[in-house]
Amino acid sequence: VISTLIRERNDELFERAKRVVPAGMYGHTFVGLNPPSYPQFFSRGKGCRVWDVDGNPYIDLMCAWGPMVLGYGDAEVEAAAARQRSAGDCLDGPSPVFVELAETLVESVPHADWSMFAKNGTDATTLAVRIARAGTGRDKVLMAHGAYHGVASWCADNKVGIAASEQSDTAYFEYNDLVSAEQAAAALAGQVAAIVVCPMRHDTRRDVELVDPEFARGVRALCDRIGAALILDEVRCGMRFDMRGTWEPIGVRPDLSAWSKAIANGYSLAAVLGIDALRQPATEIFTTGSFWFGGVAMAASLATLAGMRERDGVGRMSASGERLREGLREQATSHGLAIRLTGAPQMPMMLFARDDARLERSNAFAGACVENGVFLHPRHNWFLSAAHTAEDIDEALLATDVAFSVVRERFGAE
Ligand SMILES: Cc1ncc(COP(=O)(O)O)c(C=O)c1O
């Protein structure tokens, strides 16, 4: 049965926000394009659940858009963060955890010989690009059409407020199409500093495309041939597929990798990992931030990485994601609806085969899920965590079953 959620406090906050924040909200968490059932404001999270400001609970299949991997309020992560917080967070320089975390990452990620830290994914991808430019003495950067590497000027998809000159050194290729990457590189012969690529194609509003290993190997070989750095943007995938790096199972290692989201279970932290050959240019650039050396996020990260290893976080989220996908497939079939489930269990993407660009079925489905206590997104891939149990997934599937029946009722079968 579809509930009518109470939205009193949410709406009141939104009204107040509209007076003091442009549009009341901005960026990826803005719910303006979503069905009306979406809450904008949340009050708390625990395990794999979140509560909106009106007290409505949800099983969370967005995991704060990636950062939550062990569960909200994880006891070990919070204890490590609290210990560091009582000693000090933002001080005149880094705490010992800075070195411990760099050592841990260099030990666990095979391509990494060194690590640098920042706060957000955009910091990490942009820093990696700068190091590649410093190391090659070149300016051009190749990235895939439609890829998201953050909101910095060099890669931003929305061009509003960005001077054309800020993107004049960025050129594009098609993901999983090696010929297009080779052509883009040939058109800028001798000028390419880096090829930036995600471990899989996880653009919004379309099926997720896993990487073709031949493409990954080909891009690696192309970078070697033209003397450019291969930058792997692990911001979204990092620590959800393989703690050594998402491309490690296919044997392709980047020169630089950019990490954030999941590495500190929700604390603000980013890392750039790199190879020895780029250590010197990484030394020569000047980069920093007032909050980049805060120890709390680094202590949280050390506990997160340990927890992921000890609890087989990747295995757990993959098992619960697979259970979710199987359930969704069965339900869609029994409701006579054609869906496309793409990506991998840890980061599933579900679209309706009969939807056009308006994604009406996806919107109806996601809106009904929210009404029935499951938070997911109509246009973006979802995220699983190590905190989702089989019971949580079975409970979420009760809501998705109702949501499929809403789609079926509104749009008919198929
Ligand atoms: C692949 C990828 N790169 C970079 C970013 C930017 O990270 P942030 O939003 O932390 O700046 C994101 C964020 O979603 C991402 O998914």
Does the pLDDT value for residue 1 go beyond 70?
A: no
Question: Stretch 320-346: mean pLDDT, rounded?
Answer: 98
Task: Point out which residues pair with 341 in neighbouring strands.
Answer: 350
Q: Model confidence at 5, in pLDDT bands (50, 70, 90)? A: confident
Q: Model confidence at 234, in pLDDT bands (50, 70, 90)? A: very high
Cβ–ligand 1 distance for 122 under 6 Å, the answer yes
Q: State the CB neighbour count (10 A cutoff) for residue 77.
A: 25
Does the pLDDT value for residue 381 go beyond 80?
A: yes
Cβ–ligand 1 distance for 150 under 6 Å, the answer yes
Both tokens assigned to 170: 């960025």
**What is residue 369's predicted lDDT score, i.e. its pLDDT?**
98
* Cα separation, 22 vs 319, whole angstroms: 41
Cβ–ligand 1 distance for 259 under 6 Å, the answer no
Ligand 1 binding pocket mutation candidate from 129, 148, 267, 268 (most atoms within 8 A of CB): 148
Does the pLDDT value for residue 2 go beyond 80?
A: no
Cβ–ligand 1 distance for 148 under 6 Å, the answer yes
Work out the end-to-end distance of the chain between its first and last CA atoms, rounded to an integer number of angstroms. 23
Cβ–ligand 1 distance for 268 under 6 Å, the answer no
* Cα separation, 189 vs 10, whole angstroms: 53
Q: What DSSP state is assigned to residue 211?
A: P
Atom of ligand 1 nearest to the CA of 150: 6
Question: Stretch 339-351: mean pLDDT, rounded?
Answer: 98
Both tokens assigned to 353: 């085969």
**What is residue 162's predicted lDDT score, i.e. its pLDDT?**
97
* Cα separation, 413 vs 333, whole angstroms: 10
**What is residue 3's predicted lDDT score, i.e. its pLDDT?**
64
Phi, psi of 246 (to 5 degrees): -70, -30
Q: Which residues make Cβ contacts (< 8 Å) with residue 88, sequence separation at least 6?
A: 95, 295
Q: Quick one: which H or E segment has residue 409?
A: helix 390-411
Contact 3, 368 (CB under 8 A): no
- Say what the pTM is: 0.98
Atom of ligand 1 nearest to the CA of 123: 11
For strands 42-46 and 49-52, give the pairing.
antiparallel
Report the half-sphere exposure of 43 (CA within 13 A, side-chain side).
11
Residue where the block lists tokens 């493409």? 215
Burial of 148 (0-12, 13-18, 19+ CB in 10 A): buried
- Distance from residue 156's CA to the centre of ligand 1 (Å): 11
Q: State the CB neighbour count (10 A cutoff) for residue 180.
A: 16
Q: Quick one: which H or E segment has residue 104?
A: helix 96-108
Encode pLDDT of 300-332 as tens digits: 999 999 999 999 999 999 999 999 999 999 999
Contact 369, 376 (CB under 8 A): yes
Q: State the CB neighbour count (10 A cutoff) for residue 251.
A: 10
Encode pLDDT of 253-284 as tens digits: 999 999 999 999 999 999 999 999 999 999 99
Report the half-sphere exposure of 53 (CA within 13 A, side-chain side).
13
Cβ–ligand 1 distance for 233 under 6 Å, the answer yes
Q: Model confidence at 414, in pLDDT bands (50, 70, 90)? A: confident
- Distance from residue 288's CA to the centre of ligand 1 (Å): 19
Phi, psi of 221 (to 5 degrees): -65, -40
Encode pLDDT of 113-149 as tens digits: 999 999 999 999 999 999 999 999 999 999 999 999 9
16: alpha, beta or left? (left if phi > 0; alpha if psi -120 to 50): alpha
Task: Point out which residues pair with 171 in neighbouring strands.
Answer: 142
Contact 84, 97 (CB under 8 A): yes
Distances (CA, A) of 96 to 83, 87, 272, 305: 13, 11, 19, 17
Q: Which residues make Cβ contacts (< 8 Å) with residue 100, sequence separation at least 6?
A: 298, 302
Chain mean pLDDT for the chain = 97
Which residue stretches of 109-175 are H helix?
121-136
Report the half-sphere exposure of 198 (CA within 13 A, side-chain side).
21
Q: Whose CA is nearest to atom 5 of ligand 1?
A: 150
**Collapsed DSSP state (helix, strand, coil) of residue 26:** coil
Q: Model confidence at 52, in pLDDT bands (50, 70, 90)? A: very high
Q: Whose CA is nearest to atom 13 of ligand 1?
A: 150
Encode pLDDT of 61-79 as tens digits: 999 999 999 999 999 999 9
Cβ–ligand 1 distance for 381 under 6 Å, the answer no
Which of 67, 60, 101 shows the shortest CA–CA distance to 296? 101
Encode pLDDT of 13-49 as tens digits: 999 999 999 999 999 999 999 999 999 999 999 999 9
